[in-house]
């Protein structure tokens, strides 16, 4: 609970999280917990086909069923144009979002929503769904990304012409775009190379696996004003998407954020919210909709799978002279895979003078992909970091030494253009090398893998307010759902600036009508950007407190200094003015001008890039092919850990999710494109008993653009594990598997055929 | 006050200009393939206006879906961010995250 020797009183200490008691006592209100008088239940009819044209939908029998209050189909939604427009901070094609929410003309994956019903009970809603008659013309489908790129593949969208190709193709295909980044002269670089590693890798789409399924309550009043309660990664995102999809004013929708039971990027879009809103509008009743786990798997977005070709060229001393990657990422039913960040991050850890990355965004008959921690980066890191391991083996170099030799530093030019600002990659490598884990002995059938990873982290728009209460306590208001302990971080930073006890600062996450716009919780931006807004708002409060003290002392505000929650006369003042605490100034606020409240609305630039290096030990059973992770250490530059425990939690959680991605997780489809494993029994995510304690080392190289040095921490830790695990398995089993997951049957086959 | 370095006239040399660097694919579409451009501008908006004069359509192309990196710092929604006489400016795809 102490400050562990840092220079701050609160920042960097391990305080109890403000939402902790509610969560451990079951009092926290999640999306599915909210109830309203007269509330009815909404359910979704989903496509049984992977690809089909909808000839007709007959809802008459369902509508006649007693207890059914409303039915919606795509006909109840505006037919939006297909155009990419600015949305929040990233481009959005709202037609695609609309058509993913409820199918129009075609279903593009098994589980695609076709209609929704609201009824007075779940049983009646289910019965009504069974009465809806949909006439489908079943079409050929394609699941795999490489198959979807073939000339003879079934085409999902008749108007999808590949962008980024000159001249533009004349016919539609499943390749939405081609993007290329180039640095230096790649051919010349490979011409100078003395060692070349060239490999192909594949990864599978994996789900974020949040414990809480999507859930919403929507209520539309008689005057058309809509209120939505839901768990998401952004109440403003939900408002924006619902408004755009239904052609409503932002001001006519109020979104109240619930507690969120995990998101990891998967709750940065809408699925149920527009349906619930329209069902409520048609029925005149509040409507609650909750996905089953099966629906979460069949209808919400995992991250992409991909096919990646990597080529690395180096000198005999390990110096990288050229690097090339071509990757194709599966976007699911609509364009929008993270192929571009996959390209941009691929070689960001290294100072490579000649590099190229080409990315393809490819649609196929699977759920539209969604963000998942560091979207796109884990896949390309798996490929590049695996190839780096083979390069180290070929050169007989220590894998950390190879990375140190080529590590990006401040001033290193990234493939995507700019030079790196202040970063701490070298520091993570040195800390990993010095860690006892790295030199610990291994037993037979055990292997040790190392891999590194990078993520940009982002800033963006955030709003915050700090209100001083009459008794000297304070409330911190921000607009970002807390998915990783951010309320504690906001309170710590406010307490530090105000100079009052952390326990006297209460942070809340406000609804869209109660705080200024805030971009969603994602991109590891909240502690950085919203934290900056909170610091600015708290500094605004301090300015007001100094002004109030100046009033009471009848002096200029410049003669008042603020330190440790107390107003002091400035140095050199020799009169009899005494100190005034925040509580004393708050108590006299009515006499000095009224309530004291600070606010800040910012667009934060300067997010500090993050780097991490992971060490993984596995033990392989050569008779079954099972790999067990027996020791794992995460080293990451966190800039400044505002709340060290929650930073460590992010590092551990990211590592575990990456380990699951590497070893077990995959979607299994039958020959009709139907998902065979839509549940946690058959979709195998790691559980606590599968894992050793994940050790963490937080390197702190402060980000100079944040008042406390914050860098985002939530995404970097999922980038290295795929390769760290694969490299450990390769060294333990003496055979390398370049196709994920490295499941027991796959590894056993590799062992038997080596 | 620290005096300016000799020969600088109290600031940076007058001929110094910011360098705009474009990825080749971006350049093929917008600048006829020119990837490096020297621009004399003091903020982002002025820089884009000058580029749009030289290459009509440039401003519209970067009005959305792109971020800008100025001297290594990435800005998602730039407008008046200062550009120094030796700045490096890159246009990037808009970044999100999970």
User: Between vectors from CA A717 to CA A712 and to CA A718, what angle results, nearest 5°?
Assistant: 120
Binary contact (A344, B74; C-beta < 8 A): no
DSSP class of residue A688 equals G
Q: How far is CA A434 from CA A446, A618, A727, in A?
A: 21, 20, 20
Using CB atoms within 10 A of its CB, is residue A285 exposed (0-12), middle (13-18) or buried (19+)? buried
**Cα separation of A646 and A20, whole Å?**
12
Based on DSSP, count helices (H) and strands (E) in chain A, helices before strands.
21, 28
- Determine the pLDDT at residue B5: 40
Q: How far is B36 from chain A (nearest CA, A)?
A: 12
Peptide bond into A167 cis (omega under 30): yes
Q: How far is A702 from chain B (nearest CA, A)?
A: 15
The answer to whether the beta carbons of residues A524 and A576 sit under 8 Å apart is no
Q: For A377-398, what is the mean pLDDT?
A: 98
Contacts of A418 in chain B (CB under 8 A): 69, 71-74, 88, 90, 92
- Determine the pLDDT at residue B8: 38
**Per-residue confidence band for A624, with pLDDT thresholds at 50, 70 and 90:** very high
For every residue of A356-370, DSSP letters joined together read EEEEEEEE-SSPPP-
Closest CA to A304 of A203, A211, A384, A373: A203
- Determine the pLDDT at residue B9: 40
Q: What residues of chain A, 364 to 403, have a C-beta less than 8 Å from chain B?
A: 371-375
A91 inside 8 A of chain B by CB: yes
For residue B7, is it within any domain?
Answer: no
- Determine the pLDDT at residue A88: 54
**Cα separation of A412 and A393, whole Å?**
26
The answer to whether the beta carbons of residues A494 and A539 sit under 8 Å apart is no
For every residue of A7-29, DSSP letters joined together read S-SSTT--PPPTTHHHHHTT---
Q: For A732-743, what is the mean pLDDT?
A: 98
> Which residues are CB-neighbours of A142 under 8 A, at least 6 positions away?
A51, A148, A153, A154, A156, A174, A364, A365
Per-chain mean pLDDT for chain A: 96
A715 inside 8 A of chain B by CB: yes
Tokens 């009709």 sit on residue: A672
pLDDT of residue A669 exceeding 50, the answer is: yes
**Cα separation of A663 and A131, whole Å?**
42
Contacts of A459 in chain B (CB under 8 A): 74, 76
- Determine the pLDDT at residue B78: 86
Minimum mean pLDDT range among A191-200, A359-368, A522-531, A562-571: A562-571
**Cα separation of A145 and A329, whole Å?**
7
> Which residues are CB-neighbours of A363 under 8 A, at least 6 positions away?
A148, A156, A157, A160, A174, A176, A330, A331, A332, A333, A334, A335
CATH for A459-604? Answer: 3.30.365.10
- Determine the pLDDT at residue A46: 98
- Determine the pLDDT at residue B66: 84
Tokens 């590049």 sit on residue: A384
Q: For A77-81, what is the mean pLDDT?
A: 96
User: Between vectors from CA A61 to CA A56 and to CA A64, what angle results, nearest 5°?
Assistant: 135
- The residue of chain B with its CA nearest to that of A415 is B23
**Per-residue confidence band for A87, with pLDDT thresholds at 50, 70 and 90:** low
**Per-residue confidence band for A702, with pLDDT thresholds at 50, 70 and 90:** very high
pLDDT tens digits, one per residue of A102-126: 999 999 999 999 999 999 999 999 9
Binary contact (A86, B88; C-beta < 8 A): no
Q: For A541-559, what is the mean pLDDT?
A: 95
ipTM of the complex: 0.82
Superfamily grouping for domain A34-139+212-261+267-299? Aldehyde oxidase/xanthine dehydrogenase, a/b hammerhead (3.90.1170.50)
pLDDT of residue B10 exceeding 50, the answer is: no
**Per-residue confidence band for B7, with pLDDT thresholds at 50, 70 and 90:** very low
pLDDT tens digits, one per residue of A497-532: 999 999 999 999 999 999 999 999 999 999 999 999
Q: For A663-689, what is the mean pLDDT?
A: 97
The answer to whether the beta carbons of residues A333 and A156 sit under 8 Å apart is yes
Provide the b/e sequence for A301-328 (b: ≥16 CB within 10 Å). Answer: bbbbbbbbebbbbbeeebbbbbbbbbbb
- Determine the pLDDT at residue A1: 43
Q: For A699-724, what is the mean pLDDT?
A: 97
Domains of chain A by residue range = 34-139+212-261+267-299, 306-457+608-752, 459-604
For residue B73, is it within any domain?
Answer: no
pLDDT of residue B42 exceeding 90, the answer is: yes
**Per-residue confidence band for A92, with pLDDT thresholds at 50, 70 and 90:** confident
CATH for A306-457+608-752? Answer: 3.30.365.10
- Determine the pLDDT at residue B1: 37
Binary contact (B97, A90; C-beta < 8 A): no
Q: Is A176 left (phi over 0), alpha (psi -120 to 50) or beta?
A: alpha
- H/E segment holding residue A226: strand A226-230
| Among B24, B93, B97, beta carbon nearest to A371 | B97
The answer to whether the beta carbons of residues A12 and A639 sit under 8 Å apart is no
For every residue of A583-598, DSSP letters joined together read HHHHHTHHHHTS--EE
Q: Which two tokens stand for residue A157?
A: 């969208």
Q: What residues of chain A, 154 to 193, have a C-beta less than 8 Å from chain B?
A: 164, 166, 179-182
Binary contact (B74, A372; C-beta < 8 A): no
Binary contact (A182, B76; C-beta < 8 A): no
For residue B46, is it within any domain?
Answer: yes
Q: Which residues form the domain of B54?
A: 24-66+79-93
Residue A148 has φ and ψ, to the nearest 5°, of: -65, -20
The answer to whether the beta carbons of residues A141 and A50 sit under 8 Å apart is yes
Q: In what order do the strands lie in the sheet with A215-220?
A: A68-72, A113-119, A40-46, A287-290, A215-220, A226-230, A253-257
- Determine the pLDDT at residue A576: 57
pLDDT tens digits, one per residue of A287-311: 999 999 999 999 999 999 999 999 9
Q: Are strands A320-332 and A355-363 parallel, antiparallel or unpaired?
A: parallel
pLDDT tens digits, one per residue of A242-292: 999 999 999 999 999 999 999 999 999 999 999 999 999 999 999 999 999
pLDDT tens digits, one per residue of A552-579: 999 999 999 999 999 998 876 655 568 9
Q: How far is CA A467 from CA A178, A323, A529, in A?
A: 49, 53, 19
pLDDT of residue A90 exceeding 70, the answer is: no
Q: Give chain B's domain count.
A: 1
Q: How far is B89 from chain A (nearest CA, A)?
A: 8
Q: How far is A183 from chain B (nearest CA, A)?
A: 8
**Cα separation of A314 and A85, whole Å?**
42
B contact set with A (CB within 8 A): 21, 23-25, 28-29, 64-65, 69, 71-78, 81, 88, 90-98
Contacts of B76 in chain A (CB under 8 A): 89, 458-460, 603, 605
Tokens 């939690």 sit on residue: A649
What end-to-end distance do the CA atoms of chain A give, in Å?
52
> Which residues are CB-neighbours of A653 under 8 A, at least 6 positions away?
A717
Binary contact (A715, B74; C-beta < 8 A): no
The answer to whether the beta carbons of residues A256 and A229 sit under 8 Å apart is yes
For residue B31, is it within any domain?
Answer: yes
pLDDT of residue A549 exceeding 60, the answer is: yes
Contacts of A658 in chain B (CB under 8 A): none
Q: For A634-657, what is the mean pLDDT?
A: 97
Minimum mean pLDDT range among A328-342, A412-426, A546-560, B76-90: B76-90
| Among B25, B92, B96, beta carbon nearest to A417 | B92
Q: Is A91 helix (H, G, I), strand (E, B) or coil?
A: strand
Tokens 């709750």 sit on residue: A267
Cite the DSSP H helix spans in A284-435.
Answer: 293-299, 339-346, 377-395, 399-406, 425-434
The beta strand positions in A371-529, using DSSP E, are: 446-455, 460-468, 474-478, 505-509
Q: Is A647 helix (H, G, I), strand (E, B) or coil?
A: helix
- Determine the pLDDT at residue A575: 59
- Determine the pLDDT at residue A464: 98
Q: Do domains A34-139+212-261+267-299 and A459-604 have the same CATH topology?
A: no
- pTM (global) more than 0.90: yes
For residue B49, is it within any domain?
Answer: yes
Q: What residues of chain A, 330 to 369, have a C-beta less than 8 Å from chain B?
A: 340-341, 344
Q: Which two tokens stand for residue A226?
A: 């809509």
Q: For A471-495, what is the mean pLDDT?
A: 97
For residue B2, is it within any domain?
Answer: no
A460 inside 8 A of chain B by CB: yes
pLDDT of residue A5 exceeding 60, the answer is: no
| Among A182, A373, A421, beta carbon nearest to B98 | A373
- Determine the pLDDT at residue B15: 58
pLDDT of residue B11 exceeding 60, the answer is: no
Residue A452 has φ and ψ, to the nearest 5°, of: -120, 170
Binary contact (B96, A420; C-beta < 8 A): no
For residue B35, is it within any domain?
Answer: yes
- The residue of chain B with its CA nearest to that of A268 is B98
A265 inside 8 A of chain B by CB: yes
Q: For chains A and B, what is the number of CB pairs under 8 angstroms? A: 113
For every residue of A30-81, DSSP letters joined together read BGGG---TT-EEEEEEE-SSSSEEEEEEE-HHHHTSTTEEEEE-GGGS----
**Cα separation of A610 and A714, whole Å?**
10
Binary contact (B25, A164; C-beta < 8 A): yes
**Cα separation of A19 and A259, whole Å?**
9
């Amino acid at each position: 609970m102490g400050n562990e020797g840092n220079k701050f009183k609160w920042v960097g200490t391990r305080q109890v999280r403000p939402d902790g008691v509610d969560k451990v006592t079951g009092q926290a209100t999640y999306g599915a917990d909210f109830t309203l008088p007269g509330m009815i239940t909404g359910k979704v009819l989903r496509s049984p086909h992977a690809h089909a044209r909808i000839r007709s939908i007959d809802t008459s029998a369902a509508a006649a069923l007693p207890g059914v209050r409303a039915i919606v189909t795509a006909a109840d939604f505006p037919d939006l144009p297909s155009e990419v427009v600015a949305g929040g901070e990233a481009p959005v094609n709202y037609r695609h979002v609309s058509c993913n929410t409820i199918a129009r003309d075609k279903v593009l994956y098994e589980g695609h929503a076709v209609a929704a019903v609201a009824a007075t009970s779940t049983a009646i809603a289910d019965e009504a769904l069974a009465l809806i008659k949909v006439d489908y013309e079943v079409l050929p489908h394609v699941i795999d990304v490489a198959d979807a790129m073939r000339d003879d593949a079934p085409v999902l969208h008749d108007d999808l012409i590949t962008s980024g190709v000159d001249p533009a193709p004349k016919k539609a295909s499943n390749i939405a775009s081609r993007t290329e980044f180039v640095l230096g002269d790649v051919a010349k670089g490979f011409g100078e190379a003395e060692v070349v590693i060239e490999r192909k890798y594949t990864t599978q789409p994996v789900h974020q696996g949040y414990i809480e399924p999507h859930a919403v309550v929507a209520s539309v009043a008689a005057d058309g004003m809509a209120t939505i309660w839901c768990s998401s990664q952004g109440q403003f995102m939900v408002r924006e998407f619902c408004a755009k999809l239904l052609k409503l004013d932002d001001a006519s929708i109020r979104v109240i954020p619930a507690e969120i039971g995990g998101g990891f990027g998967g709750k940065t879009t809408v699925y149920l919210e527009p349906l619930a809103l329209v069902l409520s509008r048609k029925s005149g009743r509040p409507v609650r909709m909750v996905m089953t786990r099966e629906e979460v798997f069949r209808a919400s977005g995992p991250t992409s799978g991909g096919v990646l070709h990597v080529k690395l060229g180096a000198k005999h001393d390990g110096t990288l002279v050229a690097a090339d990657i071509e990757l194709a990422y599966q976007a699911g039913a609509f364009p929008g895979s993270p192929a571009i960040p996959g390209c941009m991050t691929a070689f960001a850890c290294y100072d490579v003078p000649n590099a190229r990355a080409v990315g393809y965004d490819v649609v196929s008959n699977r759920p539209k992909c969604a963000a998942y921690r560091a979207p796109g980066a884990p896949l390309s890191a798996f490929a590049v970091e695996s190839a780096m391991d083979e390069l180290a083996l070929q050169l007989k170099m220590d894998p950390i030494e190879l990375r140190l030799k080529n590590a990006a530093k401040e001033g290193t030019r990234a493939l995507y253009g700019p030079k790196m600002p202040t970063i701490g990659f070298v520091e993570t490598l040195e800390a990993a090398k010095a860690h006892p884990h790295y030199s610990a002995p291994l037993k037979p059938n055990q292997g040790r893998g190392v891999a590194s990873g990078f993520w940009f982290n982002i800033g963006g728009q955030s709003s915050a307010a700090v209100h001083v209460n009459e008794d000297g306590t304070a409330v911190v208001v921000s607009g970002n759902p807390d998915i990783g302990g951010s309320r504690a971080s906001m309170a710590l930073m406010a307490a530090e600036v105000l100079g009052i006890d952390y326990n006297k600062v209460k942070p809340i996450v406000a609804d869209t009508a109660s705080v200024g716009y805030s971009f969603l919780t994602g991109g590891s931006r909240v502690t950085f950007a919203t934290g900056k807004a909170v610091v600015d708002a708290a500094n605004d409060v301090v300015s007001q407190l100094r002004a109030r003290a100046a009033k009471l002392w009848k002096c200029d505000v410049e003669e008042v200094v603020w330190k440790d929650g107390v107003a002091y006369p400035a140095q050199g003042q020799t009169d009899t003015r005494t100190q005034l605490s925040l509580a004393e100034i708050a108590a006299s606020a009515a006499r000095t001008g009224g309530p004291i409240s600070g606010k800040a609305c910012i667009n934060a630039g300067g997010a500090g890039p993050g780097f991490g290096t992971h060490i993984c030990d596995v033990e392989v059973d050569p008779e079954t092919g099972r790999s067990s992770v027996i020791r794992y250490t995460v080293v990451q530059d966190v800039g400044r850990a505002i709340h060290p425990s929650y930073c460590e939690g992010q590092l551990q959680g990211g590592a575990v999710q990456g380990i699951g991605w590497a070893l077990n997780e995959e979607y299994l489809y039958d020959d009709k494109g139907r998902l065979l494993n839509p549940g946690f029994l058959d979709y195998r995510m790691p559980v606590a008993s599968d894992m050793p304690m994940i050790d963490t080392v937080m390197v702190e190289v402060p980000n100079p653009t944040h008042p406390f040095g914050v860098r985002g921490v939530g995404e970097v830790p999922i980038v290295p594990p795929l390769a760290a695990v694969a490299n450990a398995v390769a060294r333990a089993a003496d055979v390398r598997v370049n196709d994920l997951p490295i499941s027991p049957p796959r590894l056993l086959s590799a062992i038997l055929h080596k | 006050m620290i005096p300016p370095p000799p020969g600088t006239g109290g600031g940076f040399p007058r001929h110094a200009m910011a360098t705009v660097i474009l990825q080749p694919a971006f350049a093929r579409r917008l600048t006829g393939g020119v990837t490096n451009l020297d621009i004399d501008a003091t903020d982002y908006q002025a820089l884009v206006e000058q580029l749009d004069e030289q290459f009509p359509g440039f401003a519209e192309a970067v009005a959305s879906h792109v971020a800008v990196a100025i001297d290594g710092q990435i800005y998602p929604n730039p407008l008046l961010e200062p550009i120094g006489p030796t700045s490096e400016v890159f246009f990037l795809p808009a970044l999100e995250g999970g």
